[in-house]
Amino acid sequence: MSLAERAQPKVGNRDIVVRSGSQARCGLDWAGMDIFSYLIPAALVAVTAVLGFGIYALFRGGDFGRSYSNKLMRLRVVMQAVAIAVLMAAVWWRTRH
């Protein structure tokens, strides 16, 4: 057995991969990240923000409520469609790659 083989830790029949740098500090595997790792949370935050602002406009009432609550609820439906499209694209992409 060479020195390099003895230096590599093992658990049973499996090798332990020792990561260095930010991966070791964070405990994250950055190799598995793709563009959908950023798009999915961004889409969900956008839907939540539009929904919250739409509900605020609805309950505020007055001229502001009349002019913006319906527009914001329509925007929410569009944002939900975009979020579902992003989720479906992520599922398709991750099953292919």
Structure confidence at residue 12 (pLDDT): 58
Structure confidence at residue 40 (pLDDT): 96
Structure confidence at residue 28 (pLDDT): 45
Q: Per-block average pLDDT, block size 10, for the chain (97 residues)? A: 60 56 50 85 97 91 87 95 96 91
Structure confidence at residue 17 (pLDDT): 55
Nearest to 85 by CA among 51, 37, 50, 43: 43
Structure confidence at residue 24 (pLDDT): 47
Structure confidence at residue 7 (pLDDT): 60
First-to-last alpha carbon distance for the chain, in angstroms, is 37
Contacts of 28 (CB under 8 A, 6+ apart): 22
